[in-house]
C-alpha cells in the first residue's frame, strides 16, 4: 500500500488501497457490520470489566455475553473460551501453557515442520530453554503430514501434538480430525492452529477438529486485528503465559479489549458459519491463476492441487527472488505475498517450502496469491495479463 502524501487532520497517514488486493491470508478488511457492532464498546460501554461499580458491571455483562455467544457458536462450554490479543498469543498460550502444565507427565512434544512461526518458534523455545524434546513431523512434496508419521512419533512421554488445519503459505489442508482422533486414543493432548481455516472452510462446531486446543484469529475473517481466542477443552488448564491478574478465569492476565472481542464474536457469527470466502468462485479463480502461472517457464505450483484452501494459490519462480517479485507486482498495483506476513522482509527461504523439499533458491522465490470476497473477474484477468511480463523483466529477458 502507498501512503498518502498528506496526513489526516489527526496526524495519521491515510493509506491508498491499490486496485488489486490478493493477500487475504495476511489480513482482511474490517466488515462494516462488524465495525457497527464494535462501536458501542468504544463509546457507551467503556468501563473495565473487572471493576465492581455499575460502569464496570456493564462492561462485564457485555464480555460475558460475548463469551456465551461464541460458546454457542462453537457448541462448547463458556468456560472453554479464552480471549486473547490475537492469533500469535493464542498459539503461544496453547503451546507454552499446555507443555508447562503437563511437564510432570513428560517432556516430549510433536509438531509439523510447516507450522506458523507462532507455533514452531514456541516449541523451539521450549527445547532450547526448558528441557523439552521435539519431534518435527515431515511433510510430503505437497506439504501434507501423514497420520502414520504422527502415530510413529508419539512416545510414552509425549504430552502435546500440534498440526495446523490449513497452511498459511501454500494453503495445504491437513488431516487434523484423523490426527486428533489418534491423539485422543493415545491419551495425548492435540492442538490445531485453525487460524486460516475459519471463514474459508465449512464449520459445524469446534469439535470437528478432534482437538483439545483450537486457536482463532479475528482479522482473518473480516474481524478486527488484536483479537484472538483459544478453545481449551475442559478439564485441561494450561499455565498462563501472561501473569499479573485473574482475567479470563486466571488463564490470561490483562484487561480485556472489549471492542475487539465483540468484533471477533460478531465476525465469527456473521462470516464463519456461512463461510465469507465464496469457495466455488475462489477455487475457479485460483485454478485459472495456477494454470496461467505454470504456463510460464520456470514457474512451479506449490502446495496440494486439490486439498488446499480454495482462495490460495502459491508458486515459485526460478531465476528471481520473493522480494523482487513482491516489489514488481506492487508497482503494477497488485498486493501479493511471499508467504507469512509475519515474516515479511525476511531474506531466509520459506521454511514451509524447505520442508516440502524445494531447493533453497526456489524456496526464496515464492509468490502467494490469496483471494477474498471483494475480488473480481477483472482483477484475476489483470494479474494473469501482467504476470508473464513481470517475471520476464525480473529475469532480464523482457522489456
Ramachandran bin of 298, using left for φ above 0, alpha for ψ from -120 to 50, beta for the remaining angles: left
Q: Is 335 a catalytic residue?
A: no
- By CB atoms closer than 10 A (0-12, 13-18, 19+), residue 103 is middle
d(CA 249, CA 193): 22
Residue 259, all three cell numbers: 471492542
Report phi then psi at 161, rounded to 5: -120, 140
Contact 28, 221 (CB under 8 A): yes
Handedness of CA 185, 190, 196, 198 (dihedral sign): positive
User: Which is it for strands 366-370 and 312-317: parallel, antiparallel or unpaired?
Assistant: antiparallel
DSSP string, 126-159: HHHHH--EEEEEP--TTSPPPHHHHHHH--TTEE
Catalytic residue among 15, 183, 335, 342: 342
CA angle in degrees (0–180, nearest 5) for 270-276-279: 150
Nearest-10 Cα torsion for 279, 287, 176, 144:
-170
By annotation, the residues acting in catalysis are: 342
Amino acid at each position: 500500500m502507498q501512503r498518502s502524501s498528506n496526513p489526516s487532520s489527526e496526524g495519521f497517514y491515510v493509506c491508498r488501497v491499490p486496485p488489486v488486493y490478493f493477500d487475504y491470508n495476511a489480513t482482511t478488511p474490517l466488515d462494516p457490520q462488524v465495525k457497527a457492532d464494535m462501536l458501542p464498546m468504544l463509546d457507551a460501554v467503556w468501563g473495565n470489566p473487572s471493576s465492581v461499580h455499575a460502569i464496570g458491571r456493564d462492561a462485564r455483562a457485555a464480555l460475558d455475553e460475548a463469551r456465551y455467544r461464541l460458546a454457542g457458536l462453537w457448541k462448547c462450554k463458556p468456560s472453554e473460551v479464552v480471549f486473547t490479543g490475537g492469533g500469535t498469543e493464542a498459539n503461544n498460550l496453547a503451546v507454552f501453557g499446555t507443555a508447562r502444565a503437563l511437564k510432570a507427565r513428560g517432556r516430549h512434544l510433536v509438531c509439523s515442520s510447516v507450522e506458523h512461526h507462532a507455533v514452531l518458534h514456541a516449541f523451539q523455545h521450549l527445547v532450547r530453554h526448558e528441557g523439552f524434546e521435539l519431534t518435527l513431523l515431515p511433510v510430503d512434496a505437497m506439504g501434507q503430514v501423514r497420520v502414520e508419521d504422527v502415530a510413529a512419533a508419539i512416545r510414552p512421554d509425549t504430552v502435546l501434538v500440534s498440526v495446523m488445519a490449513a497452511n498459511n503459505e501454500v494453503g495445504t489442508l491437513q488431516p487434523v480430525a484423523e490426527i486428533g482422533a489418534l491423539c485422543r486414543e493415545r491419551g495425548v493432548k492435540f492442538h490445531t492452529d485453525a487460524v486460516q481455516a475459519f471463514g474459508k472452510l465449512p464449520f459445524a462446531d469446534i469439535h470437528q477438529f478432534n482437538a483439545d486446543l483450537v486457536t482463532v484469529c479475528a482479522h482473518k475473517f473480516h474481524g478486527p486485528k488484536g483479537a484472538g481466542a483459544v478453545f481449551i477443552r475442559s478439564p485441561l488448564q494450561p499455565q498462563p503465559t501472561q501473569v499479573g491478574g485473574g482475567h479470563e478465569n486466571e488463564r490470561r492476565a490483562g484487561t480485556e479489549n472489549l471492542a475487539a472481542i465483540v468484533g471477533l464474536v460478531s465476525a465469527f457469527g456473521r462470516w464463519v458459519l456461512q463461510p465469507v470466502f465464496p469457495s466455488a468462485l475462489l477455487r475457479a479463480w485460483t485454478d485459472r491463476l495456477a494454470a496461467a502461472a505454470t504456463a510460464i517457464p520456470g514457474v512451479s505450483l506449490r502446495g496440494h492441487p486439490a486439498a488446499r484452501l480454495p482462495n490460495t494459490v502459491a508458486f515459485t519462480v526460478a531465476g528471481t527472488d520473493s522480494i523482487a517479485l513482491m516489489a514488481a507486482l506492487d508497482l503494477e498495483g497488485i498486493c501479493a505475498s511471499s508467504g507469512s506476513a509475519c515474516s515479511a522482509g525476511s531474506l531466509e527461504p520459506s521454511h514451509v517450502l524447505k520442508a516440502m523439499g524445494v531447493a533453497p533458491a526456489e524456496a526464496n522465490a515464492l509468490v502467494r496469491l490469496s483471494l477474498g470476497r471483494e475480488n473480481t473477474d477483472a482483477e484475476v484477468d489483470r494479474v494473469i495479463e501482467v504476470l508473464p511480463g513481470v517475471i520476464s523483466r525480473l529475469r532480464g529477458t523482457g522489456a
